[in-house]
Amino acid sequence: MSRLVLGSGTVGHSVIESARERPGELFVLDPDESRIESLRNEKVAAEAADVTDADALAAAGVDPDVVFVGSDDATVNALAAGAADEAFPDAYLVVYTGTDATADHRRAVERHADRICGAGAALLDRIASATRTDSHARRLRAVLSDLDGTLTVLAHDNPDPDAIAAAVALCRIAESVGVDAEPCYFGEISHQENRAFVNLLELELTRLDPEEEREFDAVALVDHSAPGVNDQLDPETSVSVVVDHHPPKDEVDAPFVDIREDVGATSTILTQYLEHFDVPLERDIATALLYGIRIDTKDFKREITQQDFEAAARLLPAVDTSVLERIESPSVSADTFEVLARGIRNRELDGSVLASCVGSIADRDALAQTADRLLDLQGVTVTFVYGFMDGTVYASARGRRSDVDLGKVLRAGFGEMGSAGGHADMAGAQIPLGLFDAVAEGDSETLTTVLEDVITPRFFTAVRDGTALDAPGDDDADASRNAGGADAAGVDAVSDGEGARDDS
């Protein structure tokens, strides 16, 4: 089915988000150039056009089965309905009346539309969403109030800004109801921007030692949802609170669970809770949460929802923008430049897909930064950079092609060998060296050659297979989500060395 959306207001954008997940074609026309650019960044086919002009609609070169008129302006929608009826007389026409629609607007729309959607339904959805959040806040307060001792709030391994900000915010909420809380993590905070983020905002987090036995009074998980999955807890650890925005593989068992796959960042959820608990938005936490939202949504370009925009608007007055500028201009280590040089030198191309083995590494995060930079090469649309350290191969992938979902590609290619997953345009994998290391007998150059012979062809094949098979509506790839990744139903958030701040 071919769908055309005219106008990308609040309701129109929600329709776009829903329609893009369904089989068929989707095209958007809107007079606002900035909205068109934003939609293109989200890999939605869109063009600028006067949606009230039938000739302009006909000139767009589309032949839709369904047309949805979705501007927020009632007058624009009434005119667009007439223009769409003239330009596409055989299409099924659905019109949203707009937020300020009068009886005259509705009568004008009725002359053309096959179906009309009123603002009342949209308002009810908004009220329902707010009610759900309020209900969750009451349950969270009850669970926190019943805890004894200190609440350990655990981010996923090698935490990114969203996980760090969410952990600190949940601690503030717990403390507001009289519960001692400690934000913690396993692994490293190695990315330069993430270190600057923690240091400049003076965020105090405790790094846990996996070798040290520790008894927890109570545990909360943020930005992931299962103990022992992308954290180094015992999988049998009892968890009291889970707040996340990634789809879990299995049912999550805890007294309080709030997993919202329809928001772009866990920081968005915590921002809502801060308001419900009347916790003051101080400079450090507001700046941290806004940065977390920005990173997880790629500066409001990926998987963004109205809730994310509203949370950002709520945080902005308390944000220290000068600190954000300093966070985003950190120094880069010599090791990172060396990995980048090897990534360029060792690159192999399969059409517009690039793979590069950089050999032995000292910092996993250099892979993510290298994958980002190599995507700037002319003619390259997908990058895959991998190296090894501490008995494990780490990989980072980046892409800007609408027909390639890197999370699914890595799960299909490497899920059975280790853990893999992520978003459509950024993903990561971890593969135990095992026999590879034994074959190379500790020789780094030989090991690099062995890996190049196995991993690079496997990645190229996975991309080709994924492009051919993962058509809209193909559920087979989703069924293979058996490993990791922030969007993998299973390993919640396989961290790609913090993944250029968020490679989960």
Per-residue pLDDT of the chain (504 residues; tens, 9 = 90+): 899 999 988 888 888 888 887 778 999 999 998 888 888 888 889 999 999 999 999 999 999 999 999 888 899 999 999 999 999 999 999 999 887 788 888 889 899 998 888 766 555 555 556 666 677 888 999 999 999 999 999 999 989 999 999 999 999 999 999 999 999 999 888 777 888 899 999 999 999 998 888 899 999 999 999 999 889 999 999 999 999 998 887 889 999 999 998 899 999 999 999 998 999 999 999 999 999 999 888 888 777 888 899 999 999 999 998 888 888 766 667 888 899 999 999 999 999 999 999 999 988 888 988 998 899 898 999 999 999 998 899 999 999 887 889 989 999 999 888 888 877 888 889 999 886 766 666 678 888 998 999 999 999 999 998 875 444 333 333 333 223 333 332 333 344 434 444 444
User: Do residues 85 and 91 make contact, with C-beta atoms less than 8 angstroms apart?
Assistant: no
Among the CATH numbers 3.40.50.1820, 3.40.190.10, 3.90.1640.10, 1.10.520.10, which is that of 129-327?
Answer: 3.90.1640.10
- Count other C-beta atoms under 10 Å from residue 477's C-beta: 18
Instruction: State the DSSP code for 180.
Output: -
User: Do residues 218 and 149 make contact, with C-beta atoms less than 8 angstroms apart?
Assistant: yes
Q: Where are the domains of the chain?
A: 2-117, 129-327, 334-479
Identity (one letter) of the amino acid at 284? D
Of residues 353, 325, 360, the one with CA closest to residue 436? 360
Measured CA distances, 173 to 169, 267, 316, 415 (Å)? 6, 13, 19, 37
Tokens of 330: 């950190």
Residues 92, 104: Cα–Cα separation, whole Å: 22
We find that the CATH architecture of domain 2-117 is 3-Layer(aba) Sandwich (3.40)
The CATH code of the domain at 334-479 is 3.10.310.40
Instruction: Provide the residue count of the chain.
Output: 504
Q: Residue 347: what are its φ and ψ, rounded to 5°? A: -65, 145
- Per DSSP, the three-state class of 69 is strand
Q: Where are the alpha helices (DSSP H) in 305-443?
A: 306-315, 321-327, 334-345, 365-374, 406-414, 435-440
Residues 438, 431: Cα–Cα separation, whole Å: 14
- Per DSSP, the three-state class of 115 is strand
Q: What is the dihedral of CA 427, 430, 436, 438, to 10 degrees?
A: 160
The secondary structure of the chain in percent helix, strand, coil, rounded to multiples of 5, reads 40, 20, 40
Q: What pTM value is reported for the model?
A: 0.55
User: Do residues 370 and 388 make contact, with C-beta atoms less than 8 angstroms apart?
Assistant: no
